[in-house]
Structure 1
Amino acid sequence: MDQDSPDGLLFKDHDFSSDLLRQLNVLRQNRILTDVSICAGAWEAPCHRNVLACSSPYFRAMFCNNFRESREAKVQLKGIDSTTLDRMVLYVYTGEVHITAENVLPLMEAASMLQYPKLFEACSSYLQGQLTPSNCLGMIRLSEILSCETLKKKAREVALTYFPEVAASADLKELCALELRDYLGDDGLCGEEEKVFEALMVWIKHDLQARKRYMQELFKQVRLQYIHPAFFHHFIANDALLQSSPSCQTILEIAKRQMFSLYSTTSAPDLQPPWHVPPRNSYQDFLMLLGGRKDNQQTTRDVLLYNPQTDQWQSLAKLPTRLYKASAVTLHRSTVYVLGGMAVGVGKSVLSRKVYIFSLKFNHWRLGQPMLAARYSHRSTAHKNFIFSIGGVGEGQEVMSSMERYDSISNIWESMASMPVGVLHPAVAVKDQRLYLFGGEDIMQNPVRLIQVYHISRNTWFKMETRMIKNVCAPAVLLGERIVIVGGYTRRILAYDPQSNKFVKCADMRDRRMHHGATVMGNKLYVTGGRRLTTDCNIEDSASFDCYDPQTDTWTSQGQLPHKLFDHACLTLQCIPYTSPFP
């Protein structure tokens, strides 16, 4: 566009440069004013030195310095075939080149050698568009040879995101030990640890004699603490190949004790798997609400899942039956067990000892091994592979003090020592081999000011009286190193330190709440629904959804639940979100 200026008119011909380049190409094609030929073997391409020098730092250095080529009429370019060199010359004079699967690699190599970075990146973009799980590992190797960071980054992203498909590719078997260690050890790998282990064993068995010596170092890349104990028990613990390595055998023994023993364990620190290593970045926390009573106080079968990344709620497969005051726990990060409760039917309710098991991965319910005793209004909690079902109301409407324990590996329930004082609606949490019951109420609905402590490995109880405890119908959660008791006919939040046996008061909730849910995600406390006491002492159902940050000792609203809800289970689940198949 022309521009006026105080001294006259500034004229700009926007087609001039492209027209000039086009005319230079015509001169080249007719060998007019050409002063050098670049050659690939016997093939020659007459060119203009000044055009080549302007197009590339490589040719500028060659022709504008006191090199021999600056004076020669013919310059041989080694490592480039005639077809590729012809395309490169055409690119210099037109700015265009047709990239195909057949010519992309020689073009990329030539662009790298002759220093044409835009053509180099165009080739990289073409290869990125050809990436699949079956070729991404090979592309990573190629990108390293060509020093192409953009291709390497994209190929690595595909390899990490689509790990199950990559693990099935032939290229995985061809990786060297260092490449495999780097790949399997990456925090960004989107795959379950069971699949990581299987991929490792496939790689080793592909060339057993040569690769067996890398087994210990590579086995450490499998994060055993995130493998389902049943899988570990059946497929890893007694694997003959792993057992043949003394170092791997030691790791396996440590892992067995960490996974299956109720006792504290000590082990050699140099061989201990990294039990405190966080899960891979692909694992994500979800909040689940199930059962309870909703808007019209009807017992519901609804199961809702909240994704904090998207701030969206999703409905899952409904509970198989309506259950009044059942209890629920998460086991092995993504499996939910719903225990007992009063099965609500048409015209009648039946006290249940049934156990329903939900798989988040498959969005499916199934029946589990039933409890020894039918109970409702009870509490449950999980520790390692065990579930504890505590107290509640029995078939004779008596307050139960009994406790039973479920072993998820052997699929067996067994009776354990009864708690000293039978209570209803206590707050329950597990910390450091001990199960803590805070408060609750007796059969006359009087608050019980006790902490009852169960030593898990010894199967023994003791109790402590305290004036600090007066909670009823309140949950407890483990938040960092402290057990937090959340409300219970009060706004008060108490954090209990088992080491010092002391309570610390935290910031109050906005309302006096009971029958609500609470869970921890990302070191923050989330409180859902419940019932609240208004200022005029009326009771209202709530759909509130609040978050407490212990770092700042503050509460923030997360909005509203999809509907009012109380007497529900509120759990944290952890899994890898579904990844759609590679397009």
Structure 2
Amino acid sequence: MDGESPEGLLFKDEDFSSDLLRQLNVLRQKRVLIDVTICIGSCELPCHRNVLASSSPYFQAMFCSNFRERAQARIDLKGIDANTLQEIILYVYTGEVQITAANVLFLMEAASMLQYLRLFEACSLYLQKQMTPSNCLSMIRLSDTLSCESLKQKARSMALRCFPEVALSEDLKELCPLELSEYLGDDELCGEEEEVFETLMVWIRHDLQARKEYIQELFKKVRLQYVHPTFFFHFIINDSLLQSSPACQAILEVVRRQVFSLYGTGSPDLKPLWHVPRRDSHRDFLILLGGRKDNQQTTREVLLYQEKTGQWQCLAKLPARLYKASSVTLHSSAYVLGGMSVGVGKRQISHNVYIFSLKLNQWRLGEPMLVARYSHRSIAYKNYIFSIGGIGEKQEIMSSMERYNSIHDVWENMASMPVAVLHPAVAVKDQRLYLFGGEDIMQNPVRLIQVYHISRNTWFRMETRMIKNVCAPAVVLRGQIIIVGGYTRRLLAYDPQANKFVKCADMKDRRMHHGATVIGDKLYVTGGRRLTIDSNIEDSDSLDCYDPETDTWTSPGRLPHKLFDHGCLTLQCLPYPLESP
């Protein structure tokens, strides 16, 4: 458009350049002012030397440097077919070209050779729009051939994000060992380790004689620490190919003894297992299960916190309304154990175990506990769940403990705790299970730490004046056990090796019946009940976050409603069932 200035009127003709290009094409078609002919075999395309030089660094170098083509009237091009050259020349003179499935690769190769970068990227964009999980691996190979980084990034991103579908494609079976190694070893691969193992074995068996020599190195790409123990013992250990490889057998033995055994790395002949983190594609999700909602009734709701948006999402409801059940996370599933089943006109103490898959957003019934209990504590360690104390069917405070073995899907009785307490804070670290405080049968606080040695199945107790918590959770954060409130504002960090407590920044309220969990390197505390200044009890909908790096508290949001006596867990899962990519 026009613009006025003190010097006069600046006239801008927006259509001038497109009109000029159109007229040049007319001149080309009429062979007016033609000074060079581009030839492919018998195909001859008359052109203007200055137009070609202006459109491409390739032609500019050809016609403006000391090459012999500078003075030639006819130029023979190699490596391009006649139809593609015609489309390129038409693109030069009109700025338009029809990209189709039939011509896209020819256009892309020609655009790369002749240095028409915008056309090259347009072809890349066209291919990206045609990309699917079944062809993205071939797109990666194509991008390497064409040196197209944008296509490669898009294709690799899809291959990693859609791993379960890509693993079924025929293209995966044709990957070379290095390509497969880079693919399966990528931290961004969005799949379960069981799927990674199965994909590897399908690839090897596709050409067994040629590929079996790679099994040892490729097997290391499977992060066996994160495989479900049932799958490990039923499928991986019994695989005939792995059994035929002494090197793989050695790896399996190390994993079996260090990851899937209660007894850890005590054997001096074992090298420490290599540390490989869980893939970045897995995310930590904050989950709330059941509890007393708005001080009215026990709820079946299950809530997931979307950290990016600060919103809460409702998941599949608990199968039963359970009062003071316990909950833990094991093998990327949530377990809800026991509790008092609350129905119309009846209350029954439950020994049921319900298992929730976040990936499927479904509940299923697990192997029931040996003893029905509520107000108990449960905690997971390696492949086991310990269910401790609580109130039994005769309303007695129990000291008993039972252990669930997820490998064999059985419960078994273990040694009872020395002192029967209700509502202690419970944590596990370095093969020891710690019970802090709680209350006795007279509802008096117990100043006691009870310690259970897991591999020895023995207890011992320590009295301490530092403990006076009731209805408080505990978590492990940065190698220390953190006891969060419990009719107090205190946040206590306990170092088991030094047997020392350190006070951290206080919570803003005296809290009890709340939830706590660790996400990343921070502590999240949810809901509960708080004591006001005038000693009244109020339900809470707070969501607070403690950062041990700065020893400070923040409030990233609130719960959808007031809630206490609920399960509060961190569940690791792939994001695709819950979020759009």
TM-score w.r.t. length of structure 1: 0.96
Confirm or deny: 8 A CA contact 1:520 1:526 kept in the other structure: yes
Indicate the residue corresponding to 1:148 in structure 2.
148
Confirm or deny: 8 A CA contact 1:84 1:106 kept in the other structure: yes
In 2, the alpha carbon distance for the partners of 1:546 and 1:80 equals: 65
Cα distance change of structure 1 residues 273 and 79 upon mapping to structure 2, 3 Å threshold: farther
- Counterpart of 1:543 (choices 541, 557, 564) is 541
Q: CA deviation at 1:271?
A: 8.0
In 1, the alpha carbon distance for the partners of 2:53 and 2:527 equals: 73
How do residues 263-302 of structure 1 correspond to structure 2 at under 5 angstroms?
263-265=263-265, 274=274, 276-302=275-301
Confirm or deny: 8 A CA contact 2:161 2:190 kept in the other structure: yes
Indicate the residue corresponding to 1:317 in structure 2.
316
Confirm or deny: 8 A CA contact 1:162 1:582 kept in the other structure: no
In 2, the alpha carbon distance for the partners of 1:88 and 1:474 equals: 73
How do residues 162-311 of structure 1 correspond to structure 2 at under 5 angstroms?
162-265=162-265, 274=274, 276-311=275-310
In the alignment, structure 1 residue 328 sits paired with structure 2 residue 327: yes
Indicate the residue corresponding to 1:70 in structure 2.
70
Confirm or deny: 8 A CA contact 1:251 1:272 kept in the other structure: no
How do residues 62-141 of structure 1 correspond to structure 2 at under 5 angstroms?
62-141=62-141
In 1, the alpha carbon distance for the partners of 2:378 and 2:580 equals: 41
In 2, the alpha carbon distance for the partners of 1:418 and 1:455 equals: 12
SS state of the match for residue 506, structure 2?
coil
Indicate the residue corresponding to 1:50 in structure 2.
50
SS state of the match for residue 12, structure 1?
coil
Q: CA deviation at 1:82?
A: 0.9
Cα distance change of structure 1 residues 269 and 105 upon mapping to structure 2, 3 Å threshold: farther
Superposed CA offset, 1:221-258 (max 9, x none): 11111211111111111111111111111111111123
In 1, the alpha carbon distance for the partners of 2:240 and 2:273 equals: 19
Superposed CA offset, 1:376-411 (max 9, x none): 211111101111111112233222111111111112
In 1, the alpha carbon distance for the partners of 2:150 and 2:15 equals: 33
Confirm or deny: 8 A CA contact 1:375 1:392 kept in the other structure: yes
In 1, the alpha carbon distance for the partners of 2:193 and 2:470 equals: 40
Superposed CA offset, 1:200-234 (max 9, x none): 11111110111111111111111111211111111
In 2, the alpha carbon distance for the partners of 1:494 and 1:272 equals: 32
Q: CA deviation at 1:161?
A: 1.2
SS state of the match for residue 259, structure 2?
helix
Indicate the residue corresponding to 2:492 in structure 1.
494
Paired AA for residue 180 in structure 1: L
SS state of the match for residue 100, structure 1?
coil
Confirm or deny: 8 A CA contact 1:237 1:256 kept in the other structure: no
* More displaced 10-residue stretch of structure 1: 33-42 or 534-543: 33-42
Superposed CA offset, 1:526-569 (max 9, x none): 11111111000111111111111111111111222111111111
Indicate the residue corresponding to 2:562 in structure 1.
564
Indicate the residue corresponding to 2:407 in structure 1.
409
Superposed CA offset, 1:96-130 (max 9, x none): 11111111111111111111111111111111111
Paired AA for residue 65 in structure 1: S
SS state of the match for residue 123, structure 2?
helix
In 1, the alpha carbon distance for the partners of 2:397 and 2:176 equals: 63
Q: CA deviation at 1:197?
A: 1.1
In the alignment, structure 1 residue 347 sits paired with structure 2 residue 350: no
In 1, the alpha carbon distance for the partners of 2:487 and 2:36 equals: 92
* More displaced 10-residue stretch of structure 1: 393-402 or 205-214: 393-402
Q: CA deviation at 1:354?
A: 2.1
Cα distance change of structure 1 residues 260 and 270 upon mapping to structure 2, 3 Å threshold: closer
SS state of the match for residue 178, structure 1?
helix
Cα distance change of structure 1 residues 129 and 445 upon mapping to structure 2, 3 Å threshold: same
- Root-mean-square deviation (CA), in Å? 1.9
In 2, the alpha carbon distance for the partners of 1:246 and 1:522 equals: 38
SS state of the match for residue 260, structure 1?
coil
Q: CA deviation at 1:270?
A: 11
* More displaced 10-residue stretch of structure 1: 423-432 or 22-31: 22-31
Indicate the residue corresponding to 1:28 in structure 2.
28
In the alignment, structure 1 residue 472 sits paired with structure 2 residue 480: no
Superposed CA offset, 1:410-436 (max 9, x none): 121111111111111110000000000
Paired AA for residue 166 in structure 1: V
Indicate the residue corresponding to 2:386 in structure 1.
388
Cα distance change of structure 1 residues 90 and 580 upon mapping to structure 2, 3 Å threshold: farther
Confirm or deny: 8 A CA contact 1:224 1:273 kept in the other structure: no
Q: CA deviation at 1:36?
A: 1.3
Superposed CA offset, 1:276-327 (max 9, x none): 3222222111112112211133222222222223322122222222222221
Indicate the residue corresponding to 1:515 in structure 2.
513
* More displaced 10-residue stretch of structure 1: 34-43 or 500-509: 34-43
Paired AA for residue 514 in structure 2: H
In 2, the alpha carbon distance for the partners of 1:360 and 1:4 equals: 64
Paired AA for residue 374 in structure 2: Y
Confirm or deny: 8 A CA contact 2:391 2:397 kept in the other structure: yes
Q: CA deviation at 1:179?
A: 0.6
Confirm or deny: 8 A CA contact 1:291 1:303 kept in the other structure: yes
In 1, the alpha carbon distance for the partners of 2:325 and 2:371 equals: 13
Indicate the residue corresponding to 1:421 in structure 2.
419
- Give structure 2 stretches of 5+ with no counterpart: none
In 2, the alpha carbon distance for the partners of 1:268 and 1:135 equals: 49
In 2, the alpha carbon distance for the partners of 1:357 and 1:149 equals: 44
Paired AA for residue 207 in structure 2: D
Q: CA deviation at 1:13?
A: 2.5
Confirm or deny: 8 A CA contact 2:58 2:115 kept in the other structure: yes
In 2, the alpha carbon distance for the partners of 1:370 and 1:8 equals: 90
Indicate the residue corresponding to 1:430 in structure 2.
428
SS state of the match for residue 314, structure 1?
strand
Cα distance change of structure 1 residues 567 and 91 upon mapping to structure 2, 3 Å threshold: same
What is the aligned-residue identity percentage? 76
Confirm or deny: 8 A CA contact 2:295 2:563 kept in the other structure: no
Confirm or deny: 8 A CA contact 1:184 1:221 kept in the other structure: yes
Cα distance change of structure 1 residues 423 and 49 upon mapping to structure 2, 3 Å threshold: same
Paired AA for residue 62 in structure 1: M
In 2, the alpha carbon distance for the partners of 1:582 and 1:98 equals: 32
Q: CA deviation at 1:92?
A: 1.4
Q: CA deviation at 1:131?
A: 0.6
Confirm or deny: 8 A CA contact 2:265 2:272 kept in the other structure: no
Confirm or deny: 8 A CA contact 1:317 1:364 kept in the other structure: yes
Q: CA deviation at 1:267?
A: 8.1
Superposed CA offset, 1:170-200 (max 9, x none): 1101111111111111111111111111111
- Give structure 1 stretches of 5+ with no counterpart: none
Superposed CA offset, 1:48-68 (max 9, x none): 211111111111111112211
Q: CA deviation at 1:366?
A: 2.5
How many residue pairs align between the two structures? Answer: 581
Confirm or deny: 8 A CA contact 2:359 2:577 kept in the other structure: no
Confirm or deny: 8 A CA contact 2:295 2:539 kept in the other structure: no
SS state of the match for residue 27, structure 2?
helix
In 2, the alpha carbon distance for the partners of 1:13 and 1:267 equals: 83
SS state of the match for residue 54, structure 1?
helix
